[in-house]
Amino acid sequence: MNRWIAWVWVVSRLALLSMALVIVVRADGATTFSQAVSHWDVQHFLGIARDGYEITGDDSKRMAFFPGLPLLLAPFMAVGLPGEMVGLVLSAVASVVAAAGLYRLGGPTIGTWAAGLWLIAPTAVFGFLPYTEALFCASAFWAWAFAKEDRWLAAALLAAAACSFRVSGVFLVGALGVMILTRPMPDGTTLGGRIGAWLRRAVWLLIPAATVLAYLVYLFVRTGSWTAWADAQQAGWARAWALPTDSIMRTIGVIAGPAYDDRPGWDTVFTFELVSFAVGLIAVGWLWRRRQWAELSWIAVQLVAFSLSEWLMSVNRAVLLWFPVWLIAAELMTRQTTSKAGHVLQRVGRVTWIVVSVVVMLWWAQMFYRSEWAS
């Protein structure tokens, strides 16, 4: 990772921190810094770290959250350190590692731009807060990088770490499986040789798969249900099964209909959910044209999962996980042009993207700090 990325990391984290302090000062004692950075899912992570998983009452929704982050927070909270502050430090470190992973995936030029754009992404606040995005990305990006380098033990261990943080790890394992099946092999490799190569690599994926299974078994032992995780998702966030058309129409209904007029900001955030979903579809089309099947599957399977829920929710945050999107954006930013007009347009495009992204990033951050709905 180069010095330019380090500066972007410092400036972006300071900007997000400064916005939090501005909100606290303007609140005039009505909220503290700890409260500003501890809304929404942060409370679930802190609750699990402090008390463990509950299987009855409102706290049963905690089962929707994988145990990786709470396990990291618990030892520090046990000795009296505030979990939200520990979580901020963990995310700060993890965001550096994730940016370095993008740099590794893209190389000196594309990787630099990809990492920089990711650090100032519109929803970058979730990589700053005590959420799982930064930790997952740090694990998943490097797992992908090592897998591409055919270093499958390291890839499997990092994928297992990713699986401990988010259910998205399941999709990561599947995409790594696609990578194994589509990896080019030397000319003349026999069918037996191909199958042997596939199996030698695929066996490592049992490690991250076992991580997910271990959590599901734990929930089964506690609740007697193999669907405890899905049930918690449905109970807490209305993630029941639905057809894609129904999911999209319900999302549009939130945006345009009067039913949620008493929820300020919901129409804007759900509009972004549709935009983020469209970004995923465009990326899938790009990757299809490039025949990058593993990267395509990584995004496509998540789009399918989101579209099978009652409405499109958390797609905005998922864009942070879609490393191909940031590599594609970086490629567009660095594409060579020979004409003077092309150079001017490229510079204008770069500046516009950066300015708009930073403005939206800070707007999104202040929504979270005010405890407004922020996806």
pLDDT of residue 354: 94
Render pLDDT for 7-35 as a digit per residue (tens, 0 to 9): 999 999 999 999 999 999 998 888 999 99
Could you tell me the two tokens for 154? 């390291």
Q: With bands split at pLDDT 50, 70 and 90, how would you rate the model's confidence at 168? A: very high
For the CA atoms of 133, 305, 331, 156, the dihedral, rounded to the nearest 10 degrees, stands at 60
Does residue 15 contact residue 125 with C-beta atoms inside 8 Å? no
DSSP code at position 132 = S
Tell me the C-alpha distance between 30 and 186, whole Å: 65
In this prediction, residues 136-141 reach a mean pLDDT of 98
pLDDT of residue 261: 67
pLDDT of residue 216: 95
Question: Is the confidence at residue 262, as pLDDT, over 70?
Answer: no
pLDDT of residue 359: 97
Render pLDDT for 55-86 as a digit per residue (tens, 0 to 9): 776 677 889 999 999 999 999 999 999 999 99
Closest CA to 368 of 61, 84, 27, 20: 20
Does residue 127 contact residue 120 with C-beta atoms inside 8 Å? no
pLDDT of residue 306: 92
pLDDT of residue 335: 83
Render pLDDT for 296-333 as a digit per residue (tens, 0 to 9): 999 999 999 999 888 888 999 999 999 999 999 999 98
pLDDT of residue 244: 86
Tell me the C-alpha distance between 301 and 163, whole Å: 16
Question: Is the confidence at residue 98, as pLDDT, over 80?
Answer: yes
Lowest mean pLDDT among 106-115, 275-284, 332-341: 332-341
Instruction: Tell me the pLDDT of the chain averaged across its residues.
Output: 91
Tell me the C-alpha distance between 165 and 287, whole Å: 26
Using CA atoms, how far residue 235 sits from 60, 228, 360, in Å, is 9, 10, 31
pLDDT of residue 235: 77
Lowest mean pLDDT among 4-18, 103-117, 189-203, 280-294: 189-203
Q: What is the CA radius of gyration of the chain?
A: 21
Q: With bands split at pLDDT 50, 70 and 90, how would you rate the model's confidence at 259? A: low
Name the residue with tokens 């708009």.
356
Q: Exposed/middle/buried for 277, CB within 10 Å: 0-12, 13-18, 19+?
A: buried
> At residue 309, what are phi and psi to the nearest 5 degrees?
-95, 170
Question: Is the confidence at residue 111, as pLDDT, over 70?
Answer: yes
Question: Is the confidence at residue 157, as pLDDT, over 80?
Answer: yes
Question: Is the confidence at residue 186, as pLDDT, over 80?
Answer: no
pLDDT of residue 75: 97
pLDDT of residue 266: 81
Tell me the C-alpha distance between 273 and 142, whole Å: 27
Sequence-separated (6 or more) residues with CB below 8 Å from residue 106: 112, 113, 114, 115, 327, 330
pLDDT of residue 114: 97
